């Protein structure tokens, strides 16, 4: 349905707008119009290149935390979702508990977990997983809930067992919804890793960021934030790629796309 | 997750009762866990100690809560205004929409909170951090809702207005705006879920006198009972805020039908 | 002993605490290999009746026998093929994988001598589309795939719930001919729910006319036309008199149709 040429054309205008924005930004900084705390795109690029070794040294633990936390949350969400699917009665309890836990500010969850688990990589992974869990869980539950009535009747007529119904109908049908949650959670994983580091860590992009902030090292701060944004967008794009490869286009109405 | 057809007061009461019940159960389990596992108070103070700290510091917590809620409301007011204005601009100029929408979609993949250190460095300390962060965070959801709402009238409806001789602005006011209101409020509801938490986050980093900073200060000072008490209040505040927007959305949807 | 027999079947539902009688005292029988039709106004319970035969629901009273077996046994032994109003193909599977689905579900219980999925795809006229996804097919083609799927386990009975209701009249005539051709090859007993009098008379050997509130059979019309049926037969006296009889039964006062609401 979407040919490559059409996609390229559609990217032309926003691409040009973005370049225009970069140019205006650069000019604003060079002519002193922007506040001193704003770094120009050229300075950001130069800093990233110049200090790449240090930046990568700090990016590695952040990436590790984000990925492990994301996977932990995904596995937990799938297990819990399957549990709710098998025992419908617990669904509203699980969702209420989840909603309330989601209302607890991360800035409180992080220190509490640190008090309980100490400063370590597993604590940071847990913090990240906690942030990612609820959006994933909601979409898993929602996905497993929406099966078209006729399809359910079909499986009854075919005399399919419950495991067959789950494997052949409920799960593939739920995939588009599950991916909505996975997409939302991908940037959250990066955020979780950053927050965990801000609360207490020795290394990591978050640590680098905070130190740059307190030391008013503007170029380094902008570079770190830029890399954090790149990680976040990259994570989202990766999940979108997985979705493209595994889900039939137009299979289900997708609530996430605008 | 709104329940269609119920009235907002009912919904609010149900949610409040659910929450209260949840708190009671939580407190009981909390106290039981401490007794069962002999958890030392520095790890997890008992619910009584937390409530005591709540009473003792009620004034401070309340002042902090007022600050945070105030910043959140201010931020949302700004973002609603800008969001609707931008959605209108997209309606007027298709070129603008094609130029900016893909960029907005990409920006949405970045958690706004990650930019917080940058905002703080630019705006210094003070309430404008919280307000700016909330505005940034809530802007996208509301703008997308408004855009979807403005373009939601069916082709037949728009053709009908055209045959009545209505121009762009008349169609806007008589048709597009009423159609858009439910979508805008839905966007508001979704955005408000994290708005309060975002404000607290900005305070946590910048030190502005809100709930976020209070949690951080209590933690740094080792005053864990106060930290727990403030956490409880923050969670409740966020839950109440969200419940209020759900009820508001339901109220508006019921009025419009 | 084969074929379908329904005796004294009633079905009640509980809605908001009130008992709602969907079907009352239904008796019908079809010889093995015969083609039956159920026709009636909305709310007469024809789709419910079909689902009782398919063991999707259980009757409140009465008995049903498919080839001598109760529906639950017939279903578990995979003797039932069901075609729904919408094709209900799984969108993530190709046509071939969709048609194979009942075989996968039945697993080792599939008996030998079942038509292979590829043969059936050819029979329903979808050769070349085995590896297409449902989204790439038209509504009529999807429904053909659904029919192939319903036939893959060589069922003793084929149940169809307004299968062509979503199609325009021209496509519907074409699909009717196709279905008769396919059915002639397999010769299972068939029972089809329809809301089109012409379709019922064209397709069936026996038509059961139902009335609503409560759902009950008010007339049984035998269609004496030779097979294979052709569209030109729609001018024949046998056709028009059957249509008239069904129409009279559907629109007569004693059915209370004009007293709806």
Domain ranges of chain C: 1-79+155-168+185-261, 89-154
What is the average pLDDT across A49-63?
92
How far does A103 lie from chain C, in Å, by closest CA?
A: 36
pLDDT in tens, B138-167: 998 899 889 988 988 888 888 888 887 778
Q: Is pLDDT at A64 greater than 80 in this prediction?
A: yes
A150 → closest Cβ in C55, C88, C105: C88
Mutate to test the interface with A, among B110, B116, B234 (most CBs of A within 10 A): B110
pLDDT in tens, C104-145: 888 755 566 666 889 899 999 999 999 999 999 998 999 999
Summary mean pLDDT of chain B: 85
Q: What percent of chain A has pLDDT over 70?
A: 94
| Partners of residue B200 in chain A, C-beta under 8 Å | 105, 107
Q: Lowest mean pLDDT: which of B135-139, B219-223, C44-48, C227-231? A: B219-223
Cβ-defined contact of A248 to C91 (cutoff 8 Å): yes
Q: SS3 of C218, please? A: strand
Predicted local distance difference test score (pLDDT) of residue B127 = 83
* Helices within chain C (DSSP H only): 46-53, 71-76, 95-106, 117-123, 139-151, 169-186, 197-203, 237-251
pLDDT in tens, B67-77: 999 999 999 99
Predicted local distance difference test score (pLDDT) of residue C261 = 43
Closest CA to B121 of A221, A55, A26, A195: A221
Question: What confidence tier does A3 reach under pLDDT thresholds 50, 70, 90?
Answer: low
Q: Please tell me if residue C135 touches chain A, with a CB cutoff of 8 Å.
A: yes
Q: Please tell me if residue B41 touches chain A, with a CB cutoff of 8 Å.
A: no
Number of helices followed by number of strands (H, E) in chain C: 8, 9
Cβ-defined contact of C106 to A158 (cutoff 8 Å): yes
A104 → closest Cβ in B118, B122, B235: B235
| Partners of residue B93 in chain A, C-beta under 8 Å | none
* Helices within B93-223 (DSSP H only): 94-108, 116-123, 127-150, 155-163, 168-171, 177-206, 211-220
| A:17-46 residues touching chain B, CB 8 A cutoff | 17-18, 35, 37-38
pLDDT in tens, B81-106: 999 999 999 988 888 888 888 888 88
Predicted local distance difference test score (pLDDT) of residue B257 = 56
In a domain, B11, yes or no: no
**Domains held by chain B: number:** 1
Q: Lowest mean pLDDT: which of A11-15, A120-124, A129-133, C186-190? A: A11-15
Q: What CATH number does domain C1-79+155-168+185-261 carry, 3.30.830.10, 1.20.1600.10, 3.40.50.1820, 3.40.50.300?
A: 3.40.50.300
| Partners of residue A195 in chain B, C-beta under 8 Å | 113
Predicted local distance difference test score (pLDDT) of residue C108 = 59
In a domain, B103, yes or no: yes
Predicted local distance difference test score (pLDDT) of residue A66 = 95
Residue C222's DSSP bridge partners are C206
| Partners of residue B99 in chain A, C-beta under 8 Å | 13-14, 16-17
User: From CA C19, how far away is CA C22, in angstroms rounded?
Assistant: 9
Number of helices followed by number of strands (H, E) in chain B: 11, 0
For C210, the token pair is 């139902």
- CATH superfamily of the A40-246 domain: MetI-like (1.10.3720.10)
Q: Lowest mean pLDDT: which of B172-176, C121-125, C143-147, C209-213? A: B172-176
CATH of the domain at B151: 1.10.3720.10
Q: What single DSSP character describes residue B70?
A: H
In a domain, B167, yes or no: yes
In a domain, B120, yes or no: yes
Q: Please tell me if residue B114 touches chain A, with a CB cutoff of 8 Å.
A: yes
- List the domain range (segments joined by +) for residue B205: 53-256
Q: Lowest mean pLDDT: which of A100-109, A164-173, C208-217? A: A100-109
Top mean-pLDDT range of A71-75, A172-176, B41-45, B154-158? A71-75
How far does B13 lie from chain A, in Å, by closest CA?
A: 15
Q: Is pLDDT at B34 greater than 90 in this prediction?
A: no
In a domain, B47, yes or no: no
pLDDT in tens, A187-221: 999 999 999 998 888 889 999 998 888 888 888 99
Cβ-defined contact of B106 to A233 (cutoff 8 Å): yes
| Edge-first strand listing for the sheet containing C80-83 | C80-83, C157-161, C189-194, C35-39, C206-211, C216-222
What chain B residue is nearest to A10 in terms of C-alpha separation?
A: B98
What chain B residue is nearest to A226 in terms of C-alpha separation?
A: B115
Residue C67's DSSP bridge partners are none
Q: Please tell me if residue B253 touches chain A, with a CB cutoff of 8 Å.
A: no
Contact B138, B192 (CB under 8 A): yes
pTM: 0.80
Cβ-defined contact of B201 to A35 (cutoff 8 Å): no
Contact B84, B149 (CB under 8 A): no
Contact C205, C220 (CB under 8 A): no
């Amino acid at each position: 349905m979407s040919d490559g040429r059409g996609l390229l054309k559609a990217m032309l205008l926003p691409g040009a707008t973005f370049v225009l924005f970069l140019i205006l930004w650069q000019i604003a900084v060079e002519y002193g119009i922007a506040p001193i705390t704003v770094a120009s795109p050229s300075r950001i690029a130069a800093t990233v290149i110049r200090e790449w070794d240090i930046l990568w040294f700090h990016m590695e633990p952040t990436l590790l935390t984000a990925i492990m936390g994301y996977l932990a949350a995904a596995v937990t969400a799938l297990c819990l979702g399957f549990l709710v699917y098998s025992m419908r009665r617990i669904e509203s309890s699980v969702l209420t508990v989840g909603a309330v836990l989601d209302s607890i500010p991360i800035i409180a969850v992080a220190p509490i977990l640190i008090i309980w688990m100490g400063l370590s990589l597993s604590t940071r992974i847990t913090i990240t997983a906690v942030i990612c869990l609820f959006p994933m869980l909601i979409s898993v539950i929602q996905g497993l809930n929406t099966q078209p009535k006729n399809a359910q009747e079909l499986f009854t007529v075919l005399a399919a067992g419950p495991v067959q119904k789950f494997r052949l109908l409920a799960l593939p049908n739920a995939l588009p919804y599950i991916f909505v949650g996975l997409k939302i959670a991908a940037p959250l994983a990066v955020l979780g890793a950053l927050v965990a580091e801000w609360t207490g860590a020795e290394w990591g992009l978050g640590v680098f960021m905070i130190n740059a902030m307190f030391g008013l090292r503007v170029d380094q701060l902008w570079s770190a934030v830029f890399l954090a944004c790149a990680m976040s967008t990259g994570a989202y794009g990766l999940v979108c790629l997985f979705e493209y490869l595994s889900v039939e286009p137009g299979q289900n109405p997708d609530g996430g796309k605008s | 997750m709104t329940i269609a057809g119920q009235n907002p007061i009912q919904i609010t009461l149900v949610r409040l009762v659910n929450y209260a019940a949840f708190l009671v159960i939580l407190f009981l389990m909390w106290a039981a866990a401490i007794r069962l596992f002999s958890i030392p108070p520095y790890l997890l103070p008992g619910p009584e100690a937390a409530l005591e700290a709540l009473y003792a510091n009620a004034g401070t917590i309340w002042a902090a809560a007022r600050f945070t809620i105030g910043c959140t409301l201010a931020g949302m007011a700004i973002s609603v205004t800008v969001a609707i204005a931008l959605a209108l601009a997209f309606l007027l100029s298709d070129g603008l929409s094609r130029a900016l929408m893909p960029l907005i979609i990409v920006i949405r993949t970045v958690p706004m909170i990650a930019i917080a250190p940058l905002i703080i460095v630019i705006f210094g300390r003070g309430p404008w951090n919280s307000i700016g962060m909330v505005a940034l965070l809530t802007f996208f959801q509301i703008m997308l809702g408004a855009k979807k709402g403005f373009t939601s009238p069916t082709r037949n409806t728009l053709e009908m207005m055209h045959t009545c001789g209505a121009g762009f602005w008349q169609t806007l006011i008589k048709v597009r705006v009423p159609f858009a209101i439910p979508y805008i409020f839905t966007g508001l509801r979704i955005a408000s879920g994290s708005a309060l938490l975002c404000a607290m986050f900005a305070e946590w980093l910048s030190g502005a006198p809100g709930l976020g900073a209070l949690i951080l200060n209590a933690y740094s000072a080792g005053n864990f009972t106060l930290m727990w008490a403030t956490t409880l209040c923050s969670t409740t505040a966020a839950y109440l805020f969200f419940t209020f927007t759900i009820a508001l959305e339901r109220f508006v949807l019921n009025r419009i039908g | 002993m084969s074929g379908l027999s329904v005796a004294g079947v009633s079905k009640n539902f509980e809605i908001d605490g009130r008992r709602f009688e969907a079907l009352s005292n239904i008796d019908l029988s079809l010889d093995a290999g015969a083609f039956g039709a159920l026709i009636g106004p909305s709310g007469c319970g024809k789709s419910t009746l079909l689902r009782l035969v398919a063991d999707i629901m259980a009757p409140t009273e009465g008995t049903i026998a498919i080839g001598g077996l109760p529906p639950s046994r017939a279903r578990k032994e995979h003797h039932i093929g069901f075609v729904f109003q919408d094709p209900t193909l799984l969108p993530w599977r190709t046509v071939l994988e969709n048609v194979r689905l009942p075989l996968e579900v039945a697993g080792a219980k599939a008996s030998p001598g079942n038509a292979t999925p590829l043969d059936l795809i050819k029979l329903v006229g979808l050769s070349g589309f085995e590896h297409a996804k449902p989204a790439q097919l038209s509504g009529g083609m999807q429904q053909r795939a659904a029919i192939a799927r319903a036939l893959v386990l060589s069922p003793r009975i084929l149940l169809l719930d307004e299968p062509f209701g979503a199609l325009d009249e021209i496509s519907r005539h074409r699909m009717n001919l196709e279905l008769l051709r396919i059915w002639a090859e397999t010769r299972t007993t068939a029972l089809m729910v329809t809301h089109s009098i012409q379709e019922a008379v064209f397709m069936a050997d026996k038509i059961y006319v139902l009335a609503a509130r409560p759902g009950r059979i008010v007339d049984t019309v035998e269609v004496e036309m030779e097979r294979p049926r052709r569209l030109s037969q729609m001018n024949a006296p046998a056709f028009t008199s059957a249509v008239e009889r069904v129409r009279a039964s559907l629109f007569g006062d004693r059915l209370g149709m004009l007293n709806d609401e």
